[in-house]
Structure 1
Amino acid sequence: MGVVTVSASFGAGGAEIAPAVAERLGLPFHDRVIPAQVAARLGVPLPEAEANDETVTRGLWRLVTSLGTMPDPVGGVLPTSTLPDERAYRVQTERVLAEIAAGPGGVVLGRAAAMVLRDRPDVLHVRLDGPRDRRLAAAAASTGRPEAELRREQEAADAARMAYVRHFYRCDPAETRHYHLVADSTVLPRDVVVELVVIAARARGIGAF
């Protein structure tokens, strides 16, 4: 079956393009299921696993742990001394990604999957990007929210993804050398980008046939 990893900067349409690619290829789309599996394995509430995900700034972890306690999924609170650290979340995320690649395959959005699965031959790595202003305009058009309101979210999201990959994998997620296909999804129609990714994936033998 194989895997398509999709790395997308804010406003590049990853949340729409990645599931569309999965549907076209007949593969499962892996997004929220990954932090859910990580939370189950570490025995922590889902929000805490999501707080350590690539899409959230690492500073949030320090904020949460500085509070001293957090909700227990079955009631009460958990002392932070019993909680896994950032490395534990990263290790479990890598294990989930490896199991996806070795098992049913699928399309994975984010999670630094291009770095985790970079040595596998049955994977297509895709980067969706574009100039900052055009990504901001695209986000405003798709959400109906003003650009001024979204600008801070864009800066935080882009910085968070950059920090996550640099911290754990010592590389820049925007460098084209990490990907087989890089597309400016701010100038190409989304359906065209989906088609390009699907063609590239099938050329590598990925998908349900």
Structure 2
Amino acid sequence: MGIVTISASYGAGGADVGPAVAERLGLDFHDRAIPAQVAGRLGVPVAEAEANDERVARGLWRIVASLGTMPDPVGGVVPMTPQPDERAFRQQTERIVREIADGPGGVVLGRAAALVVGDRPDALHVRLDGSRERRLEAAVARTGRSREEVRRDLEANDAAREGYVRHFYRCEPAASRLYHLVVDSTAFGLDTVVDLVVDAARARGIGR
């Protein structure tokens, strides 16, 4: 079946493109379920993690937590607890992504999945991006929230995800060499972006 990994900066439409690509390819979309699976494997109730997130997240864990609590494009809640360390969290996340690739396949949003599954012939790695101002405008239009509120989320979200990838994988998440397809998703309608990703995936034999 294969795997499509999507790395999307804030406002680039990853939360919309990912599910649409998965539906077109007949694959499962994996985003919010991943932190819940990690929580289960580490023995951390997600509800407890949600309740304690603001209290326990500090330093790097603030970065990791933000991957689960920020809005588009990542979503979900990263399980937080004093017991598992950052290495355990990363290992479980990577294990789940590899199981998806080795099993039924799917579309994975975020989690540095392109770096986790690497050069597999049955994988397509996609980066959705755009200038900060155009991503800001797109997010304001989609959410209807104030420009300043969205700007704060954009800056915090970009910094969080960049920090996560730099810390765990020692590289820049926007580096084009990591991806087969890099799209300025603010320059096209999201339907066009979905078409581009689906066509590229099918060209690599991915999908049902």
1:51-71: CA deviation from partner (whole Å, max 9, x where unpaired): 6xxxxx8342799xxxxxxxx
Q: Are 1:21 and 2:16 matched, yes or no?
A: no
Change (3 A) 1:111 1:62: closer
Check whether the contact 1:124–1:180 (CA below 8 A) recurs between aligned residues: yes
Deviates more, 1:122-131 or 1:112-121: 112-121
Change (3 A) 1:40 1:113: same
Give the paired residue count: 188
State the Cα distance separating 1:46 from its structure 2 match.
1.8
Check whether the contact 1:58–1:160 (CA below 8 A) recurs between aligned residues: no
- What residue in structure 2 maps to residue 152 of structure 1? 152
Larger Rg: 1
TM-score (ref. length: structure 1): 0.85
Change (3 A) 1:61 1:112: closer
State the Cα distance separating 1:141 from its structure 2 match.
0.1
Superposed CA RMSD in Å reads 2.3
1:143-198: CA deviation from partner (whole Å, max 9, x where unpaired): 00111111111001000100000000000010101000000111111000000000
- What residue in structure 1 maps to residue 62 of structure 2? 60
SS of equivalent to 2:120 = coil
SS of equivalent to 1:124 = strand
Deviates more, 1:125-134 or 1:147-156: 147-156
- What residue in structure 1 maps to residue 110 of structure 2? 110
- What residue in structure 2 maps to residue 86 of structure 1? 86
Change (3 A) 1:60 1:116: same
- What residue in structure 1 maps to residue 180 of structure 2? 180
Q: Return 5+ residue gaps in structure 2 as ranges.
A: 54-58, 66-79
SS of equivalent to 1:145 = coil
Change (3 A) 1:27 1:44: same
Q: Which 4+ stretches in 1 moved above 4 angstroms?
A: none
Q: Are 1:99 and 2:99 matched, yes or no?
A: yes
1:41-52 to structure 2, matched below 5 A, reads 41-46=41-46, 48=49
Q: Return 5+ residue gaps in structure 1 as ranges.
A: 52-56, 64-77
TM-score (ref. length: structure 2): 0.85
SS of equivalent to 2:137 = helix
Change (3 A) 1:79 1:34: closer
